[in-house]
Amino acid sequence: MEPGNTPLVELRGLAPAGTRMFAKLEWYNPTGSIKDRPAWYMFQEALLSGNLKPGMPMIEATSGNTGIGLARLAIINGYDMSIVLPKVATEERKQLLRAYGANLIEVDGGPNDGIAHARELVDAGEGYMCYQYGNAMNPYAHEVGTSQEIVRDWPLEAPPDHLVCCYGTGGTITGNSRGLKAAYPDIKVHSVEPFVEDPISGMRSQDDPFQPPIADLSLVDDRYEITNDLAKAAVTRMMNTEGYFVGTSSGAVIEAAQQELSKNGGTAVCLLPDAGWKYLSGAPWVAV
Ligand SMILES: Cc1ncc(COP(=O)(O)O)c(C=O)c1O
């Protein structure tokens, strides 16, 4: 099954008075996250370009979701997959990756240490890496997929005023900004980020020393820095008002969207990357 065609729903209980808030529920993808989209396109490109040859092992540095999406594609297509991830990633993510047959290479530190180690392995000829941080298929998946679905499913006469989404590899924000700014030239793009010293799983700060080459931040109109505490409080509000159990990065998006709509009004479309299951053991919702 191809990823995509996830539901776009209204969050009536969370929208500040006089505003409207819509969310794309990305956990409706095959392995439960938005990252199934880039995984699919990167894998197809690797095959079609001939860069991923039959029998070649695959390697990826990932905080979890891209690895889970790629591990699914690897196992169903007969490739070995190694995932380089921080030791501190939640046990649920490691269990799911192992269940998909992936070999886990756990590293000390955070995502940047995983990227460095994966690059060393690739340089040593250990396998092929899609390299989500530098792969044009990552934003492309959102430009031709996610953003077009939003345009197709947007239920209001007037275009959305705001796009609110996470910044991690930059694939989501870059691709959706391209697609949505082409359809709705006045839409404002809000990047949701953690603080460097208070990381949230899957997300990156523009203040981080490593900025992914695929990220085009000239498309971003402003940024919201959200603490773990505020993100987790928004996860709870989401459960209590709409009944969805979202991941911490989705909580950060909800918090940012509520702040933006309270300040400037209008209508917002929010991209919610995954559900909360993978973070349950994280004492609660601890970041990686
Ligand atoms: C849970 C979660 N939230 C947000 C993101 C950020 O998305 P992107 O990498 O497209 O910027 C990711 C990416 O891995 C993620 O796994």
Inside any domain, residue 18: yes
- pLDDT at residue 284, as a whole number: 55
Q: Where are the alpha helices (DSSP H) in 89-247?
A: 91-99, 111-123, 137-141, 147-153, 171-183, 228-241
Query: Can you tell me which atom of ligand 1 is nearest the CA of 38?
Result: 10
Final residue belonging to a domain, choices 80, 95, 129: 129
d(CA 47, CA 42): 9
Instruction: Check: CB of residue 175 under 8 Å from CB of residue 146.
Output: yes
Mean pLDDT for the stretch of residues 259-275 = 98
The reply to whether 193 and 53 lie within a common domain is no
According to the model, what pLDDT value does residue 286 have?
A: 45
The alpha-helical segments, DSSP class H, found in 16-136 are 36-49, 65-77, 91-99, 111-123
Could you tell me if residue 269 is inside a domain?
yes
Q: In the beta sheet, which residues pair with residue 164? A: 190, 270
Q: Which pLDDT value is given to residue 64?
A: 85
| Those residues with Cβ within 8 angstroms of residue 149's Cβ, 6 or more apart along the chain or in another chain | 4, 5, 6, 8, 24
Burial of 10 (0-12, 13-18, 19+ CB in 10 A): middle
The answer to whether residue 152 sits within a structural domain is: yes
CATH of the domain at 193: 3.40.50.1100
Indicate whether 134 belongs to any domain: no
pLDDT given for residue 288 in this prediction: 43
pLDDT at site 281: 84
Q: Whose CA is nearest to atom 15 of ligand 1?
A: 202
Options 205, 249, 250, 278, the catalytic residue: 249
Identify whether 136 is part of a domain.
Answer: no
For residue 274, which atom of ligand 1 is closest to its CA?
1
35 is catalytic: yes
Q: Which of 24, 35, 232, 278 is catalytic?
A: 35
Residues 94 and 114 in one domain: yes
188 is a catalytic site residue? no
Residue 23 has pLDDT above 50, yes or no: yes
- Structural domain includes residue 285: no
**111 Cβ inside 6 Å of ligand 1:** no
Using the predicted structure, report yes or no on whether residue 262 has a pLDDT greater than 50.
Answer: yes
What is the spatial distance between Cα 276 and Cα 246, in angstroms, rounded to a whole number?
4
Q: What is the residue range of 40's domain?
A: 36-129
> What is the value of pTM for the model shown?
0.96
Instruction: Give the integer Cα–Cα distance in Å for 123 and 58.
Output: 13
% of residues, the chain, pLDDT over 70: 97
Tell me, using a 6 A CB cutoff, whether residue 65 lines ligand 1: yes
Q: 157 and 88: one domain?
A: no
Nearest atom in ligand 1 to the alpha carbon of residue 247 is 1
106-141 pLDDT, tens digit each = 999 988 999 999 999 999 999 999 999 999 999 999
Are 41 and 87 in a shared domain? yes
Residue range 53-59: mean pLDDT, rounded: 97
Q: Is 267 in the pocket of ligand 1 (CB under 6 A)?
A: no
Residues 176, 231: Cα–Cα separation, whole Å: 22
